[in-house]
Structure 1
Amino acid sequence: MPAPVNTFKQALAEGKTLIGCWLSFAEAAAAEAMGTAGFDWLVIDGEHAPNDIRSIRDQLMALAASPSHPVVRVPIGETWIIKMVLDAGAQTVLVPMVETAEQARELARACRYPPEGTRGVGGAASRATRFSSIPDYIATADEQICLLVQVENRAGMAALDEILEVEGVDGVFIGPADLSTDMGFKGNSAAPEVQATIADAIRRIRAAGKAPGVVGVTEEATQGYLDMGAQFLAVGLDLLLLVREARALSARWKAKI
């Protein structure tokens, strides 16, 4: 039996546009509920949400029956954490702050078993192998791992063409908040200079045969990124969806008093 097919990676390779959302609660119950919303993919955020390997694992378990594909964003691009989330059952990994082609190559190697890569061969008791019930996992896993790298500052943008040449990188995700701040706009991702940089990056990513991704937190920004050609597009954050609706509900009823 081979490793399960990564339907998210397959869809990106087919050129499909996929709509996703961020998971920021770091709770399995919230992830399970979001898994019923109809998103194509959901990001388990290990960078800015209070996650550890156990909570990441629990959210992967909670999404196992969902049609929404889990994407795990690791806190940093290090081999050890990539090994852990892959063994926990992640098939798609999102890595923040990638600035060089050499860094991208090391990340690609971390997602593959030797001799092509550096992933540790010790998954017999892991979720990835379904606890040794997938006998051909090690022989077939590499081709089902999807690596997404985040380019979100001027250094990364300067090295984008070289990063796009790295074999094993399936997609490049643009981080508007970090990029705009690094460009001197303090989180103002709507600045024309920032938008022009994002549009140019998306064009270059597509031209290289890779999948471009981005996150939008307003209707205007999200539509703009879709029009630019973003292929995997995050359209919101679960926590913000909750607090916005809660604040609007509170204000609406208090206004009636």
Structure 2
Amino acid sequence: MPAPQNAFKAALNSGQPQMGCWVGLADAYTAEITASAGFDWLLIDCEHAPNDLRSMMAQLKVVEASTSKPVVRVPIGETWMIKQFLDAGAQSLLVPMVESKAQAEELVSAVRYPPVGVRGVGSALARASGFSAIPDYLTTADGEICLLVQVENRAGLADLDGILSVDGVDGVFIGPSDLAADMGHLGDPMHPEVVAAILDAMKRIKAAGKAPGILTTNLDFARTCLELGATFVATSIDVTLYAAAIRGAARQAKELLGSVEG
């Protein structure tokens, strides 16, 4: 019996656009609610959300049980950390702050078993192998891992062609906020210079045969990216959606009280 098929990777390979949402509330209960919404994929964020390995795994379980496909963003592209996340069952990883071809090559090695990579062989006690219930896990796992690298500064853009040349990188995600900051436009990811850089990157990623990805709550910009061939696009963030909704509810409640007292 082989490793579970990675439906997210299969969708990217077929060129089928996937619409997603960022999951940053760091709680399995709210992740389960989000997983019932109908997004194609959900990004469990362990870089900027207060997640650890166990909280990530709890959210991974509820997303796996839904029709949405889970993607996990690791805090940093360290081999030892990637090993733990893979053993916990994550099959699609997004790695932030990738700046060079050499770094991309190291990440490919980190997600593959020897002799082609350096992933530690501990599947016998790992959730990824069903705790040894998948007898062919070691020989089939590599092919089902989806490695997405995040380019989000000028250094990464400068070596984008090198990154794109690395076999084993399935997709490249452009991080608008960090890129804007690095380009001198902190807090303005829709600055014309930033937008131009992102769109150029999208075209190059697509032309290289990799999956282009983006997170933007600007639906017009998301449409433009999709038209350029973006394959995994997130348009919502659970934290900001909840914050806006609960603040709106509080405002309405206070307005209601004011109308009664007046």
- Given the two structures, how large is their TM-score scaled by the length of structure 2? 0.95
**Greater CA deviation, 101-110 or 28-37?**
28-37
**Greater CA deviation, 151-160 or 224-233?**
224-233
Instruction: Give matches, 1:46-61, under 5 Å.
Output: 46-61=46-61
Q: Does the 8 Å contact 1:110/1:118 carry over to 2? A: yes
**Greater CA deviation, 45-54 or 244-253?**
244-253
Q: Partners in 2 of 1:89 and 1:203 — Cα distance?
A: 32
Secondary structure of residue in 1 paired with 2:64: coil
Q: Which AA in structure 2 matches 1:2? A: P
Which runs of no fewer than 5 residues in structure 2 stay unpaired? none
Secondary structure of residue in 2 paired with 1:234: strand
Instruction: Give matches, 1:136-175, under 5 Å.
Output: 136-175=136-175
Q: Which AA in structure 1 matches 2:40? A: D
- 1:131 offset after TM fit, Å? 0.6
- 1:175 offset after TM fit, Å? 0.2
- 1:67 offset after TM fit, Å? 1.2
Which runs of no fewer than 5 residues in structure 1 stay unpaired? none
Q: Partners in 2 of 1:50 and 1:177 — Cα distance?
A: 19
- 1:217 offset after TM fit, Å? 1.9
Which runs of at least 4 in structure 1 moved beyond 6 Å after TM superposition?
none
Residue number in structure 2 paired with 1:221: 221
Q: Deviations over 1:40-77 (max 9, x none)?
A: 11111010000111111111122221111111100001
Q: Partners in 1 of 2:207 and 2:220 — Cα distance?
A: 25
> Is 1:113 equivalent to 2:117 in the alignment?
no
Q: Does the 8 Å contact 1:99/1:159 carry over to 2? A: yes
Q: Which AA in structure 2 matches 1:181? A: A
Q: Does the 8 Å contact 1:216/1:225 carry over to 2? A: no
Q: Partners in 1 of 2:10 and 2:141 — Cα distance?
A: 14
**Identical aligned pairs, as a percentage?**
57
Secondary structure of residue in 1 paired with 2:72: strand
> Is 1:5 equivalent to 2:5 in the alignment?
yes
Q: Which AA in structure 2 matches 1:8? A: F
Q: Which AA in structure 2 matches 1:214? A: I
Q: Partners in 1 of 2:49 and 2:172 — Cα distance?
A: 21
Q: Which AA in structure 2 matches 1:84? A: Q
Q: Partners in 1 of 2:223 and 2:126 — Cα distance?
A: 40
Q: Partners in 1 of 2:221 and 2:155 — Cα distance?
A: 23
What's the C-alpha RMSD, in Å, of the aligned pairs? 1.1
- Greater Cα radius of gyration, structure 1 or 2: 2
Q: Partners in 2 of 1:229 and 1:180 — Cα distance?
A: 22
Q: Does the 8 Å contact 1:151/1:174 carry over to 2? A: yes
Q: Partners in 2 of 1:55 and 1:160 — Cα distance?
A: 33
Q: Partners in 1 of 2:229 and 2:143 — Cα distance?
A: 26
Residue number in structure 2 paired with 1:18: 18
Q: Deviations over 1:191-225 (max 9, x none)?
A: 11110100000000000000000001233333333
Structure with a larger share of its residues in helix? 2
Residue number in structure 1 paired with 2:103: 103
Equivalent pairs counted in the alignment come to 257
Q: Does the 8 Å contact 1:21/1:238 carry over to 2? A: yes
Q: 1:248 to 1:224 in 2, by over 3 A?
A: farther
Q: Partners in 2 of 1:153 and 1:47 — Cα distance?
A: 16
Q: Which AA in structure 1 matches 2:16? A: K
Residue number in structure 2 paired with 1:41: 41
- 1:253 offset after TM fit, Å? 4.1
Residue number in structure 1 paired with 2:189: 189
**Greater CA deviation, 50-59 or 89-98?**
50-59
- 1:113 offset after TM fit, Å? 0.3
Q: Which AA in structure 2 matches 1:197? A: A
